[in-house]
Chains A and B, each alone.
Chain A
Amino acid sequence: MSAGRLGLPGLGHAPEGGGRYVGGASRRDRAKGLAFQAVLLFSVVIGFVTLIALLVDVANDGLGKLSWDFISSFPSSLPSRAGIQSPLVGTIMLMVLVALFTVPIGVGAALYLEEYADKNRWYNRAIEINIQNLAAVPSIVYGILGLAFLVRGLELGRVLLAGALTLTLLVLPIVIIASREAIRAVPASIREGALALGATRWQMIRRQVLPAAIPGIATGSILALSRAIGETAPLIMIGAIVFVPFNPTSLDSAFTALPIQIFNWTTRPQEDFKLLAAAAIIVLLALLLTMNAFAIWLRNRYQRRW
C-alpha cells in the first residue's frame, strides 16, 4: 500500500485531489472488511449451531436410556433389556487391531518415503501420488474390497479379522500421510548432526528422527483411528452381523460394532429402539471425543519449536 493511501502527503504518488481519493477508498475498504468478517463469522456460526443442535437432540433422546445396565447388557429384541456390551467390545477390539496393523505399516511406509526413497525415481513418485489418492477413496469402496478380497477371496468369512483388515486399509493412507508430515518436520540439521557423528542412516532414524517425530505420528494415528471408529459403510458391506448377543473372543469370531448397532436400531419401527440408538450415539461420541482430546493433548504436550 502506498504512502498516499495512508494520507501521508508528499510520500506516495497520490493523484491531484489525493485527499478525497484517500478518504473514499479507505471508507470503502473498511466496509468491505467488515462485510467479509461478517460472512466468516456466519460460516462459523452455521457449523457451531448445527453441532450443538445435533448434540442437544441426541442428548434429549438418549440420556434417559443411558445407564450402566445399557452399557453392560447385550443387544436384545426387547428394547427394555437391550444394551451395547457386544458392539462396544467389538468396536474396542477393532480399534486395537487396526492400531496394531496400521501404525507399524504406516510408519514404515512413511519412513521409507521420507528417508530412503529417491524422489527422482518414477516409481517412488507413483507410490506417493497413489497414497494421496487412496486417502480420498470413499469408504464403501474399501468395504467392497474387503468383501471381495478378504471375506470371499481369502475365505476369512465375516469375522473380526476381516473387519479390522478392511478398516486398516481404509485408514492406512491417512496414517502414512500424517506420519510423513511428522517425520518431515524434524529439521535436516538434526539428521546432519547425527550423521556427522558417525551414525549410520538407520541409527540416525531410530535414535533421533523417530523419537522426535513420535508425538506427531501418535496424534495423526489417533485421529485416523477415530475416523475408523465411526465408519459404518465398509463394515456393513463386508457383512458384519447386526445382532450379536456375545462378545468376540478371537480373530475369527463374529462381531458387531457400535455404528452397526446404531444403524440397526434406527431401522427398527419401535420408538424405543430409536432412543436406544441415541444413547449408543452418545457413547460413540464420548469415545470419539476422548480420543480426539487425547490426540490434541499429546500434540500440545510434545509440540516442538525447532
Chain B
Amino acid sequence: MPTEQMAEPRPRPVPVMPRTERPTTHVETRRPGDAPLERAEPIFEVRDVAVTYDDSPAVRNISLDVHRNHITALIGPSGCGKSTLIRCFNRMNDLISGATVEGSILYHGQDLYGPGVDPVEVRKLIGMVFQKPNPFPKSIYDNIAFGPRVIGMNGDMDGIVERALRRAALWEEVKDRLKENAYRLSGGQQQRLCIARCLAVEPDVILMDEPCSALDPIATSRIEDLMLELKTRYSIVIVTHNMQQAARVSDMTAVLMPEVRDGDTTVGHIVEYAETNKIFTNPDNQRTEEYITGRVG
C-alpha cells in the first residue's frame, strides 16, 4: 500500500475504522429497514459477467450497477481482476486474443456484447485513461485533435482542443506550447493530457485504470480534484490500488477479491458493493474489512 498517499491531507478523508464486534456473515449490502437510496439512473448494468483468458477464468459472477454522474471505484488486492473488469466496459478485452466475456453489460439498457454492437462505436462513448500515461509521440495539440479527427467531429478544432484542455485543468499550463511534443510534459501533465484527449471526443463515461499509480502525490491530488469536477458532466469508473484514493473520490465502491481455485489459478469476484462511506466505515463483509484495515492484500 503506497504510504505517501496517507500522509497527504485531503478534504474528504474517510476514516478507516477497525471494527471490533459485529456479525461478519452478512453479504447483503443493504439491511432491511435501511432507507432506500437516492441513486441516479444506472448507466451500466453488469449482469453475471465472467471473463476467461485462454480457458482460465479471470473474474466471474460480476454483477453491479454503475450510476450516472457517480465515481465508482473498483478496489481489491493484486490479481483480483479489477483491470480485467474495467476493460469489459469499453470492450478492450476484445483486443486480447483468447479473451472471452460472458454475461451481459447493459449500457443505457443496450447490451454492449450484443450482436451487431461495434466495439469502435462503444469506445467513442466510453473513454479510457490508462495506468501509465500514454500520450502519442506528437504535439500536445495533435494528441487532443486525434480523437475528434478520427471520429469525424466537424467544426472549430482549435476550440475543441482548448475546451478539452480546460476541462482537464491543463490549459493554463500548455496554452503557449501546444505545438510542443507531448513527451516533454511531466508525468502528471501527461496523464491530464490523456484525460483531455479522452474528453475531446465527448464521451459519456470515463474509465480510469489506476490513473495515478505512476504519479507523485501532488500530481495525484490534482487528478483527484479533476475527477471530482468531471463527475458533474461524466460518469467515472476507476480502478485503484490505493484505498485512500477510493475513499477520497468515489461515491460507490466495489471490493473484488481473488479466490484461489485448483492450486494457483485465481478468479476474482465482488465480495461487497456499496456506498464508499459504508465500505470504509461499516463494511458487511469480513474480507472487505480485513482488506481495508490492511490485514490482507
Q: Which residues of A contact B171 (CB under 8 A)?
A: none
Query: Does B134 have its Cβ within 8 Å of any Cβ on chain A?
Result: yes
Stretch from A7-15, A145-153, A192-200 at the B interface: A192-200
Interface string of B145-159 (1 = CB under 8 A from A): 011011100000000
B198 touches A195 (CB 8 A): no
B134 touches A207 (CB 8 A): no
Query: Does A304 have its Cβ within 8 Å of any Cβ on chain B?
Result: yes
Q: Which residues of B contact A198 (CB under 8 A)?
A: 120-121, 123-125, 147, 150-151, 201
CA distance A197 to B151 in the complex (A): 8
Q: Which residues of B contact A199 (CB under 8 A)?
A: 120, 146-147, 150-151
A197 touches B123 (CB 8 A): yes
B134 touches A195 (CB 8 A): no
Q: Which residues of A contact B92 (CB under 8 A)?
A: 192, 195-196
* Option from A120, A189, A211, A304 in Cβ contact (under 8 Å) with B134: A189
A193 touches B150 (CB 8 A): no
Please list the 8 inter-chain residue pairs (A to B) with the smallest Cβ-Cβ separation, ordered nearest first: A198-B124, A189-B134, A197-B147, A196-B128, A199-B150, A193-B134, A198-B123, A203-B150
Query: Does A190 have its Cβ within 8 Å of any Cβ on chain B?
Result: yes
Query: Does A253 have its Cβ within 8 Å of any Cβ on chain B?
Result: no
B97 touches A118 (CB 8 A): yes
Query: Does A247 have its Cβ within 8 Å of any Cβ on chain B?
Result: no
Q: Which residues of A contact B127 (CB under 8 A)?
A: 196-197
A207 touches B150 (CB 8 A): yes
Query: Does A258 have its Cβ within 8 Å of any Cβ on chain B?
Result: no
B-facing residues in A179-217 (Cβ within 8 Å): 187, 189-190, 192-200, 203, 207-208, 211-212
* Option from A192, A196, A200, A212 in Cβ contact (under 8 Å) with B137: A212
Query: Does B136 have its Cβ within 8 Å of any Cβ on chain A?
Result: yes
CA distance A161 to B92 in the complex (A): 47
CA distance A197 to B130 in the complex (A): 12
Given contacts A118-B97, A198-B151, A198-B201, whether A193 and B120 have CB atoms under 8 Å apart is: no
Interface string of A47-84 (1 = CB under 8 A from B): 00000000000000000000000000000000000000
B132 touches A197 (CB 8 A): no
Chain A residues with CB under 8 Å of chain B are 118, 120, 187, 189-190, 192-200, 203, 207-208, 211-212, 304
Q: Which residues of B contact A118 (CB under 8 A)?
A: 97
B134 touches A197 (CB 8 A): no
Query: Does B192 have its Cβ within 8 Å of any Cβ on chain A?
Result: no
* Option from B132, B135, B137 in Cβ contact (under 8 Å) with A304: B137
Q: Which residues of B contact A212 (CB under 8 A)?
A: 137
23 sampled A-B residue pairs with Cβ under 8 A: A187-B134, A190-B134, A190-B137, A192-B95, A193-B134, A193-B135, A193-B197, A194-B146, A195-B123, A196-B90, A196-B128, A196-B198, A197-B151, A197-B197, A198-B123, A198-B147, A198-B150, A198-B151, A199-B147, A199-B151, A207-B146, A212-B137, A304-B137
- Complex: chain B residue closest to A186, CB-CB: B137
- Complex: chain A residue closest to B95, CB-CB: A195
Min CB gap A204→B, angstroms: 8
Query: Does B43 have its Cβ within 8 Å of any Cβ on chain A?
Result: no
Q: Which residues of B contact A194 (CB under 8 A)?
A: 136, 146, 150
Question: Max chain A CB contacts within 10 Å: which of B123, B124, B135?
Answer: B123
Interface string of B81-94 (1 = CB under 8 A from A): 00000000010100
A-facing residues in B189-246 (Cβ within 8 Å): 194, 197-198, 201
Min CB gap B236→A, angstroms: 15
Min CB gap A141→B, angstroms: 36
CA distance A200 to B152 in the complex (A): 12
B136 touches A120 (CB 8 A): no
Q: Which residues of A contact B90 (CB under 8 A)?
A: 196
Question: Max chain A CB contacts within 10 Å: which of B125, B135, B150, B198?
Answer: B150
A120 touches B123 (CB 8 A): no
CA distance A195 to B123 in the complex (A): 7
CA distance A212 to B194 in the complex (A): 18
